[in-house]
Amino acid sequence: MPRAARFLVIVVVLGAAAVLARQLGDTAAWTGRDLLSFALVGVAAAGLEQFWIPFRQRAETQNFSVTDTVFAAGLMLLRPSAFLLAVAAGAVAGEACRRVAPHKIAFKAGRLVLALALADAVYNSFETPPEFGDEAWLAAVAAMAAYFIANASAAALLVALVERKGFFEVLVPPLRLRALHSACNVALGIVAAFVWLVDPSALPLVVVPLGLCYVAYLRRLQSEQGRKQMHAMARAADAISLERDLARRIPETDASGDVALLVATLNRMLKRLESAFRREHLFIDEASHELRTPITISRGHLEVLGPSAGPEEMRQAIDLVLDELALIGRIVEDMTTLASVEQVELVAREPVPLRPFLAELAAQARPLVDGRLRTGSVPDGVIVHADPQRLTQALLNLLHNAALYTPAGSPVTLRVQEEPVAWRFEVADEGDGLPAGQEEVVFQPFHRATSLGPGSGLGLAIVRTIAEAHGGSAGVDNKSGEGATFWLRVPR
């Protein structure tokens, strides 16, 4: 803490110690009733300290409770020495149970003792009859008002010194809410004092309104906190919209509840939107690059083709342009496929008998792998819930990929592994495998093993998208120099 804050703590603690030392001399005159009152108030103050209601106000956290009810009643009923000593003991014990730092315990107990000593002086300045005359409640209100001002001012002053803010900047914002809260507690404490005076056996009935007040405080403060959080969310959402900054997040709250759940949900949504937005931009950039290359090649050959070009030169130029247009067509088709597969609702899952499905797939794939395809055995009666067309497309992409990047004559194996909650389709080869660290990169759009490789570079991206549209995943088990096993997992 800053030096001024430490000085304030020391002054408050020493002042309270002086007040308590003066009260200790009166303990010799205590009766059994005074001793019992000391114990009851101390226990009540310590117990109610465990039921704080935290309320976030700007940068500070305000704590609310019903402890002032005990203070108001004790001020009217107890001998001053028993009352002040009980408050000090209860505050220390209650804060210690909450594992508060020692200097905070000392400061809180000290400011409570000083504030209540001031309240006791104000209360005793009124000439109230021994049995609580008409002025008793007015005296109690005036006394507790003095206590409230002194206690709130001391707490605000310490916060202002620690956080280097203006005193009134800390004191004023929560003042209205704290004053209303304190007034309710004082009114209930005065009622409890009068009930004790009229019929002590009826005092337990005060517990009911005391509990209702606590619940009312809790709901009111939660509502107020929720309103402030909703306003903060609205401001943050406006800022995100105006600045188009999807990397920004709505400030989260330490509190639990519906508002905190909503904030977490919205932030997750923003994270997904940011990821989709960046992926879309990256995809557009890469797509434009991929399309620009064949267009540039075609234009270059057509531009250098002179009016006197011979038939052979014309034929070569036409063949080259047709090849580049075919490449553009494949890229556009794959881009359309990728975009459509990303829409989960366009993946129509249905029961697919696995054994006939793999037999048909093997028949389609044999021309792609030049007779190198090997298939694993599958039991009869096995059913996979998937979109057969999309699943066929994904597995054909994997088989075509294996045929392109493995040595001629090396086998390519298609098999299915049963897992507890999924079916895993595998395409294994005995080629050179992938370079280390490329296991995830190969699934990115427009990535190819070599810059001169055939295809659009979208095949493996389509495989992963199809797997994820089914609620599954795709990846590769790579052994550099020994081959790779690409797999696609579909939930049961």
In whole angstroms, what is the distance from residue 145 CA to residue 392 CA? 80
- Residue 251 three-state SS: coil
- Its sign, for the CA torsion 427, 428, 429, 435, is positive
How far is the C-alpha of 84 from the C-alpha of 74, rounded, in Å?
Answer: 9
SS3 56: strand
pLDDT value, residue 113: 93
At residue 473, the 3 state secondary structure works out as strand
pLDDT value of residue 451? 46
> pLDDT tens digits for 202-230?
667 666 676 666 666 666 666 666 677 77
Please give the Cα distance from 472 to 488 (Å, whole number): 8
Residue 56 scores a pLDDT above 60: no
Look at 86-90, 219-223, 245-249, 486-490 and tell me which has the smallest mean pLDDT.
Answer: 219-223
CA distance 222 to 224: 5
Using CA atoms, how far apart are residues 265 and 274, in angstroms rounded to an integer?
14
Residue 257 DSSP class: S
Instruction: Please report which residue ranges of 342-382 form alpha helices under DSSP H.
Output: 354-365
Residues facing 333 on adjacent strands: none
pLDDT-above-90 percentage for the chain? 18
Residue 238 burial (CB count, 10 A): 10
pTM over 0.85, yes/no? no
Q: Are strands 350-353 and 483-491 parallel, antiparallel or unpaired?
A: unpaired
Q: Report which DSSP code applies to 343.
A: S
* First vs last C-alpha separation in the chain: 60
> What is the token pair recorded at 452?
């001169």
Which pLDDT band, with edges at 50, 70 and 90, does 64 fall under?
low
Cβ atoms of 457 and 389 within 8 Å: the answer is: no
pLDDT tens for 427-466 read: 998 888 888 777 888 887 766 555 444 555 677 888 888 8
Give the ranges where 342-441 is alpha helix by DSSP (H). Answer: 354-365, 388-404
Task: Mark out the alpha helices in 244-386 (DSSP H runs).
Answer: 258-303, 311-341, 354-365
Please check the confidence at residue 421 and state whether its pLDDT lies above 60.
yes
Is 362's pLDDT higher than 70?
A: yes
Q: What is the average pLDDT across 50-69?
A: 65
| Calpha distance 64→71 (Å, rounded) | 14
Question: Mean pLDDT, to the nearest integer, of 292-306?
Answer: 77
CA atoms within 13 A on the CB side of 31: 3
> Given this model, what pLDDT does residue 145 score?
92
Separation between Cα atoms, residue 86 and residue 114, nearest integer Å = 13
Alpha carbon 299 to its chain centroid, in Å, reads 53
Side chain identity at residue 242, one-letter code: L
Of the given ranges (64-68, 144-148, 275-279, 395-399), which has the lowest mean pLDDT? 275-279
Lowest mean pLDDT among 46-60, 206-220, 356-370, 443-457: 443-457
Distance of CA 347 to the CA centre of its chain: 31
Average pLDDT, the chain: 81
Both tokens of residue 141? 């209100």
> What backbone phi and psi angles, to 5 degrees, belong to 188?
-70, -35
**pLDDT at residue 268 in the model:** 83
Average the pLDDT over each of 90-94, 126-130, 258-262, 349-353 and give the range with the smallest value. Answer: 126-130
What residues form DSSP beta bridges with 418?
A: 423
Phi, psi of 440, deg, nearest 5 = -95, -30
Nearest Cα to Cα of residue 77 among 21, 147, 136: 136
